[in-house]
Structure 1
Amino acid sequence: MFSTVLVANRGEIAVRVIRTLRELGVRSVAVFSDADADARHVREADTAVRIGPAPAAGSYLSVERLLDAARRTGAEAVHPGYGFLAENAHFAQACADAGLVFIGPPASAIALMGDKIRAKETVAAAGVPVVPGSSGSGLTDAQLAGSAREIGMPVLLKPSAGGGGKGMRLVREEALLAEEIAAARREARASFGDDTLLVERWIDRPRHIEIQILADGHGRVVHLGERECSLQRRHQKIIEEAPSVLLDEGTRAAMGEAAVQAARSCGYVGAGTVEFIVPGDDPSSYYFMEMNTRLQVEHPVTELVTGLDLVEWQLRVASGERLPYEQADITLTGHAVEARVCAEDPARGFLPSGGTVLALHEPQGGGVRTDSGLSEGVPVGSTYDPMLSKVIAYGPDRATALRRLRAALADTVVLGVPTNAGFLRRLLAHPAVAAGDLDTGLVEREADSLVPHGVPEEVYAAAALLRQPSPVAAAGWVDPFSVPSGWRLGGTPARTFHHVRIPGHDPVRVGVRAGTGGTAELDFGHAGDREEPTDACGPLPSGPAPEGSRLVEVSDRRVTVELDGLTHTFSRADSPDGVWLGRDGDTWHVQDHDPVEASLSGAARSGADTLAAPMPGTVTVVKVAVGDEVVAGQSLLVVEAMKMEHVISAPHAGTVTELDVTAGTTVAMDQVLAVVAPGEDA
């Protein structure tokens, strides 16, 4: 076994690999960019090396800097994690040339399976069924479009050099082929440095099932069963489980053997995954899609049902050990499900989010495991992939595993950065998911019903009551003149008005009238509503306190509020412009709102429509200039964040009167990008 291993990655996978290295007594070396100087993986490693600036091209994707870090720290081997250079044949070969062991397959296998076109040809020759599609590499746009028409719409455009859904485009109309091919090439070039594409037949309502394989350097290859990865959004997996309810033992054995043959066909060594597309109505008709020549994000579910530590076996195989297992020795016990928690805001169309982690709680134990790269006080930016952590649950059966995962997601707290945890919890409760009736389009079809379109009143109530000044002095004595009751001689209690807003929702006005017994009466209205006079006369209420709202418990971390007789408990973290509240995986950033300032800001741009950045990121494409006439829906700019492109389109026909950015400009969320003055007919 090695004595020192460099982990050429960041975030939760770096933390995950470091954990196994520690258990094996192997010294770990972390690398970090300027953006990750205080990251969790840096703190948990035995030593860490700065390798460059925040942009990945100058740090995590720099082969030279990674090799230099390995040389300086005396590392004998490099674990690439997943993403970045994990499937880069040049990096694997450069490690070997530098006398380092690359903990993964040979460079030749990475190169072969990393080229999806050659990979399909190779496994087909080994008898593995493949998806019908284009043939040949280096196809022009016209040739790709021609292949698409020959196959028949709809088709799937895929980058030849990478995976993870980056650059993948489903095209249903021939008229959109040129535009989608250009966009797919642009994303592929940005993600993998290679814009080679292929086109494949789209299989409606497919299931995505992958087989985990493990191969040593002595000719033994075994598979560790399958993972169901059909719950996806924008071709990105978000829920994975093992085993799949779709497969019977015969189909499982056949697919496993096909995966083993695919691995043998490229001389594979180490842990890898063979991915299949499977028609939901005919599981026996499965097709090879691609092979991932690395550890997968979803590897924990396989670990839990097999009892094997895949990172440990990556290390053992790379150090020359033989696999002690025959295929008959591999058994699957129980069921495991994983959910990917990402920095994205479901209420804003799942746009990438960011911020500083103000409060954090990640469940562990009781059949639950969280793999995470998060820690409190660390900023989450838009430079890298949006995945923050993975919550995994295990049980003796699927129903138990699903129930435990839903509870774990409800118990997950990440305040300061909007995440999809609440959305995932609701998805897992969907009847089709509970029944195992899955396909890769299910999430997209049901997403709207799984995103709350309003904000519960108790959220605004908690935020407003937290803003009320406390009458209790340090010694516990209550100063009657500081009690915020609004009482005056011969008059009713006055109301205090709080104007708040939550991104993605209209501003709200909350009126608070303090009552007796520590209660408060609340009323809710639009922020633009006229406020009631605060000096209305009338008798004070007598008798029992009216049913209303009150703060039951307040601490730095939690707040419990009672509203109309029901209590609601939230996780809490204060921010400079308001408060973050969290419950059951959902979070709300309740910000202070100034209706006067907002009105003046809107008046300043009267007669024009302002286009703002929907997420923090970088402007990659600018297609217009000031003075250009545009039509409704015309693409004006492209903003990229966390490897995702978002097109900014004209809301109506008109003229571009302002353009505040150029290609390469880094923008904050809601920053003004351009202004389009409406035309006469708009």
Structure 2
Amino acid sequence: MFDTVLVANRGEIAVRVIRTLRALGIRSVAVFSDADADARHVREADTAVRLGPAPAAESYLSADRLLAAAARSGAQAVHPGYGFLAENAAFARACAAAGLVFIGPSAEAIDLMGDKIRAKETVRTAGVPVVPGSSGSGLSDAQLAAAAREIGMPVLLKPSAGGGGKGMRLVRDAALLGEEIAAARREARGSFGDDTLLVERWIDRPRHIEIQILADGHGTVLHLGERECSLQRRHQKVVEEAPSVLLDAATRAAMGEAAVRAARSCGYRGAGTVEFIVPGKDASAYHFMEMNTRLQVEHPVTEYVTGLDLVEWQLRIAAGERLPFTQEDITLTGHAIEARICAEDPARDFLPTGGTVRLLREPQGEGVRTDSGLSPGAAVGSLYDPMLSKVIAYGPDRPAALRALRAALAATVTLGVTTNAGFLRRLLAHPDVVAGVLDTGLVEREAAGLVVREVPPEVYAAAAAVRQATLEPAVPDGGWRDPFAAPTGFRLGGEAAPVRHWLRVAGHDPAPCDVRPDAAAGQVTPDRVRVTVDGVLHTFHRAGDWLGRDGDAWHVQDHDPVAATLRGAAGAHTADALTAPMPGTVTVVKVAVGDEVTAGQGLLVVEAMKMEHVIAAPHAGTVTELDVTAGATVAMDQVLAVVDPHGSTPDDTREEAS
């Protein structure tokens, strides 16, 4: 076994790998960019090495800097986590050339299975059923479009070199193929450095089932059962569970054997996952989609139901050990479900968010585990993946696991950064999810009903109570407080009058809230607020001007209606300005000042946390201002461009506003 292992990743997966290294008595080496100098994974490792500036290309994705860090720290092996370099054959070869053990499969297996086109051809030869689609690598746009029309709409465009849903595009209208192919290539190139695409038949209402495999270097290949990953949004998994309610014992065994054949076909070694797409009405009609040659984000649910530490077995296999158990020894006990906590705002179409973690509560305990890279004070930016943590719950059966996970999500508090925790809690209570009637489109179909659009009145009441407590001066011991020293509603000889506070929750219109000081007294502490509204007591977590409850969070700020009116009267182009919906980087600028545009026309593309967002014209008109260029970094709500509607001029607009 190794003495020292370098973890070539960041965030929650680095923390998770370090946990197993510590349990095995292996010295851990973390790496970090300038943006992560005080990150949790850096503090939890035995030692840490700086890689370089914040951009991933100059730090976490730099093979040269990672290898230099390994040499400086005395590491004998490199664990790549998942993502980044975990499926990079060149990095695996570079590790070997530097005398380091790459904790993962061989570079040849990564190459083969990392190319989805070759992978399909290889496993088909091994007798594994595959999804109908295009054949051959390096297809031009025209060839891809022709293949799509031959297969029949709808189709799915997929990057050959990547995974995780990046660059995938579902196309239902053949007229949009050219535009969607261009967008898929651009996103694939940005995510994987390779814009090769393939096209596959889209199966409506499919289920996504994947099989975990382990293979040692001595010819043993085993499967550890399946995970159901059908709850997805934009092809990104959000909830995963093991086992799947869809499979019976015979189908589970058949899919497991198919996964083992797929792994053997590429000479696989280590932990990996074979992914299948399964028609919901016929589980036996499964098709191979791809093989992920790395540890999966959702591996904890398999760990719970098998009792195996997959990171430990990655390390043991990489060190040359044999698997000491057989397929018959693998049993699945109980049920486990995982939810991914991401920095995104469900109420704003899941746009990426950011900020500083001001209050953190992450559930841990019997049957509940949180894998996280967060710590109080951590800064969440737009440079890296939006996933912050994973909450995993285990129970003797699926209903028990669901209840435990919903409770754990309600207890999860991440104030300072808007997350999807509350949305996930409501998703797990959806009748179809509870019944196990799943498909990969369920989240998209039901998302609108699971998002809290309006701010509950008790949120304003709690925020107003905080403001009131802040305004009221403390009474000196044995002293006297001037009742007129603060806006407390004090009246001579009468009942105290309500005090009005104007408040604004991010993303919502400002609202007034009246507080009776006597009702608010004693309900505000540094980290909690309790208010009674319509006879019901509500309790919130609190951190500054953030409030949280049951996984949801609200950023509540003071609002001055007079100042806002003056700003609005003085401003120009208010309705015509295009602003950044989230912090990120402008990757494409399609227009110039003076261009005529149509309503809904894409003008710019902003990328944040590896996702592209098209900024479109709000109406037909003329581009009169363009305040950014490609490559520019922008803040949330920053003005990017202004489109004056046809029939008006900037001067006309200013005159109307005044």
Category of TM-score, reference length = shorter chain: over 0.9
Residues in 2 aligned to 1:43 and 1:646: alpha-carbon distance in whole angstroms = 34
Residues in 1 aligned to 2:243 and 2:638: alpha-carbon distance in whole angstroms = 45
Residues in 1 aligned to 2:491 and 2:28: alpha-carbon distance in whole angstroms = 68
Residues in 2 aligned to 1:286 and 1:559: alpha-carbon distance in whole angstroms = 51
Residue 191 of structure 1 corresponds to: 191
| Length-normalised TM-score, structure 2 | 0.96
1:631 to 574, 578, 598: 598
Determine helix, strand or coil for the equivalent of 1:553.
coil
1:605 to 558, 569, 572: 572
Residues in 2 aligned to 1:122 and 1:263: alpha-carbon distance in whole angstroms = 10
Identity %: 79
Residues in 2 aligned to 1:202 and 1:389: alpha-carbon distance in whole angstroms = 31
Residue 555 of structure 2 corresponds to: 589
Residue 206 of structure 2 corresponds to: 206
Alpha-carbon offset, residue 488 of structure 1: 3.4
Q: Is the 8 A contact 1:472 1:478 kept in 2?
A: no
Residue 530 of structure 1 corresponds to: none
Deviation string, structure 1 residues 137-186 (Cα, Å, up to 9, x no partner): 00000100000000000000000001000000000001111111011001
Alpha-carbon offset, residue 557 of structure 1: 1.2
Q: Is the 8 A contact 1:338 1:393 kept in 2?
A: yes
Q: Is the 8 A contact 1:607 1:677 kept in 2?
A: no
For residues 109-508 of structure 1, what are the structure 2 equivalents within 5 Å?
109-468=109-468, 469-475=471-477, 479=481, 481=483, 482=485, 484-489=487-492, 493-508=496-511
Determine helix, strand or coil for the equivalent of 1:444.
helix
Alpha-carbon offset, residue 112 of structure 1: 0.2
Deviation string, structure 1 residues 632-660 (Cα, Å, up to 9, x no partner): 00000000000011000001001111111
Residue 656 of structure 2 corresponds to: none
Residues in 1 aligned to 2:429 and 2:198: alpha-carbon distance in whole angstroms = 36
Q: Is the 8 A contact 1:213 1:273 kept in 2?
A: yes
Residues in 2 aligned to 1:200 and 1:358: alpha-carbon distance in whole angstroms = 45
Q: Is the 8 A contact 2:465 2:524 kept in 1?
A: no
Q: Is the 8 A contact 2:573 2:644 kept in 1?
A: no
Q: Is the 8 A contact 1:471 1:478 kept in 2?
A: no
Q: Is the 8 A contact 1:471 1:484 kept in 2?
A: no
Residues in 2 aligned to 1:609 and 1:207: alpha-carbon distance in whole angstroms = 43
2:629 to 662, 665, 670: 662
Residues in 2 aligned to 1:365 and 1:270: alpha-carbon distance in whole angstroms = 29
- Taking a change above 3 Å as real, the CA distance of residues 377 and 607 of structure 1, as seen in their structure-2 partners, is closer
Alpha-carbon offset, residue 600 of structure 1: 3.4
Higher mean alpha-carbon deviation, 272-281 vs 485-494, is at: 485-494
Alpha-carbon offset, residue 595 of structure 1: 2.5
Residues in 1 aligned to 2:280 and 2:479: alpha-carbon distance in whole angstroms = 69
Give the letter for the 1:629 counterpart: E
Give the letter for the 1:640 counterpart: E
Deviation string, structure 1 residues 348-392 (Cα, Å, up to 9, x no partner): 110000000000000000210000000000100000000000000
- Taking a change above 3 Å as real, the CA distance of residues 337 and 476 of structure 1, as seen in their structure-2 partners, is farther
Give the letter for the 1:288 counterpart: F
Residues in 2 aligned to 1:138 and 1:317: alpha-carbon distance in whole angstroms = 35
| Length-normalised TM-score, structure 1 | 0.93
- Taking a change above 3 Å as real, the CA distance of residues 22 and 490 of structure 1, as seen in their structure-2 partners, is closer
Alpha-carbon offset, residue 493 of structure 1: 4.3
Count of matched residue positions in the alignment of Structure 1 and Structure 2: 645
- Taking a change above 3 Å as real, the CA distance of residues 316 and 418 of structure 1, as seen in their structure-2 partners, is same
Deviation string, structure 1 residues 433-476 (Cα, Å, up to 9, x no partner): 00000000000000000001101111001111111123542427
Determine helix, strand or coil for the equivalent of 1:598.
helix
Q: Is the 8 A contact 2:488 2:499 kept in 1?
A: no
After TM superposition, where is structure 1 displaced by more than 6 Å over at least 4 residues in a row?
none
Determine helix, strand or coil for the equivalent of 1:391.
strand
Residue 619 of structure 2 corresponds to: 652
- Taking a change above 3 Å as real, the CA distance of residues 606 and 28 of structure 1, as seen in their structure-2 partners, is closer
Higher mean alpha-carbon deviation, 146-155 vs 493-502, is at: 493-502
Q: Is the 8 A contact 1:493 1:513 kept in 2?
A: yes
Q: Over aligned residue pairs, what C-alpha RMSD do you find?
A: 1.4
Deviation string, structure 1 residues 273-324 (Cα, Å, up to 9, x no partner): 0000000000000000000000000000000000000000000000000001
Alpha-carbon offset, residue 498 of structure 1: 1.7
Determine helix, strand or coil for the equivalent of 2:245.
coil
Residues in 1 aligned to 2:566 and 2:598: alpha-carbon distance in whole angstroms = 28
Q: Is the 8 A contact 2:61 2:84 kept in 1?
A: yes
Q: Is the 8 A contact 2:352 2:582 kept in 1?
A: yes
Q: Is the 8 A contact 1:552 1:562 kept in 2?
A: no
- Taking a change above 3 Å as real, the CA distance of residues 476 and 680 of structure 1, as seen in their structure-2 partners, is farther
Give the letter for the 1:665 counterpart: A
Q: Is the 8 A contact 1:130 1:288 kept in 2?
A: yes
Residues in 2 aligned to 1:3 and 1:182: alpha-carbon distance in whole angstroms = 47
**Structure 1: stretches of 5+ with no match in the other structure:** 520-549
Determine helix, strand or coil for the equivalent of 1:369.
strand
Residue 653 of structure 2 corresponds to: none
Determine helix, strand or coil for the equivalent of 2:523.
strand
Give the letter for the 1:605 counterpart: A
Residue 559 of structure 1 corresponds to: 529
